A = this chain, B = another copy of it.
Amino acid sequence: MNWPARVAIIGLGLIGSSLALGTRRALPDAVVTGFDDDEDVRATASAIGLCKVADTLAQAVVGANLVVLAVPVGAMGAVAGAMAPHLSPGTIVTDVGSCKEQVAQALRAALPDPTRIVPAHPVAGTEQSGPEAGFASLFKRRWCILTPDADADPEAVERVAGYWRALGAEVETMDAAHHDRVLAVTSHLPHLIAYTIVGTASDLEEVTQSEVIKYSAGGFRDFTRIAASDPVMWRDVFLANREAVLDMLQRFSEDLSALQRAIRWGRGDELHDLFTRTRAVRRSIVEQGQDDAAPDFGRTHE
């Protein structure tokens, strides 16, 4: 693959910096230029030699074959609008936002050529943020979902798919609205619940914060990992994918109420049935390589 010769990555957080490193490793001949709105982030990115760092958004995108927007979803429209006048004809624009319907609308409104827009979402990440958090293999064996509109140029779609495959990802294509509902379950709702329970545990008057931390290995600590994810990114996700998130949350709350009732009335069989069923889901995730087979996520125990 010798396309893209020039890639611009806008936003140098965890995903943007991983893209920079991954692209340089997978496509050593490509010129990778990065830009971030935050001057400190640009300085750090330069200092650690992440990629070529442009001083302005315009300089970053001019002449690029591919522009990847890796900014919080609430900022996509504004960034796309600001770079639009500087895009070269034929440049393909993609993004990495965690919800796709609202982002696609924002990109279409801001950019001159809808046929060159190929929204994407790599389902990968860690709880860390910033330009130093990235690593080249973040997308390996993870899924990247493309949600092109019907008028997207098939060649542009195939080029973006090839780019993600070069980074080690598996590529799937689906409708933006369906994407947003699937991810509401597999990503947004889990984050919302993790944030909530960590908040709940911090606010108790009779159990101290220090006790919560000391005894967190009983299960709580698992939730704190995703509750340490980037606050701005996640604020934007919940606001942008509101309807799907609220709908999934409603279903979760109903199921939780049912379990609450089962506990209150001592219906052990009901609990046991659910707890047996959920085991099988874990098994499938491990079998399909979407999580480590090692117990306890492979945490060290020595």
Contact = CB atoms under 8 A, between A and B. Distances in A.
Contact of A227 (B216, B264, B268, B282): B282
Contacts of A26: none
Interface residues of A, number: 110
Contacts of A188: 218-219
A105 interface: no
A111 B202 CA distance: 39
B227 A301 contact: no
Contact of A298 (B124, B234, B266, B297): B297
A186 interface: yes
A225 B222 contact: yes
B145 A215 contact: yes
Interface of A: 98, 123-128, 133, 135, 137-138, 140, 142-143, 145, 172, 178, 181-183, 185-204, 206-207, 209, 211-229, 231-232, 234-236, 238-239, 242, 245-246, 248-249, 251-253, 255-256, 259-260, 263-264, 266, 268, 271-272, 274-279, 281-285, 288, 290-292, 295-302
B193 A193 contact: yes
Contact of A281 (B185, B213, B235, B275): B213
A50 B228 CA distance: 39
B213 A123 contact: no
Nearest to A279: B228
A276 B226 CA distance: 12
B218 A281 contact: no
Contacts of A185: 200-201, 204, 207, 212, 220
B195 A182 contact: no
Contact of A213 (B216, B223, B266, B284): B284
21 contacts: A128-B295, A133-B295, A138-B301, A182-B207, A182-B215, A185-B204, A185-B212, A187-B215, A187-B219, A194-B222, A199-B255, A204-B251, A209-B284, A214-B290, A222-B223, A222-B225, A222-B226, A224-B281, A225-B296, A246-B264, A253-B253
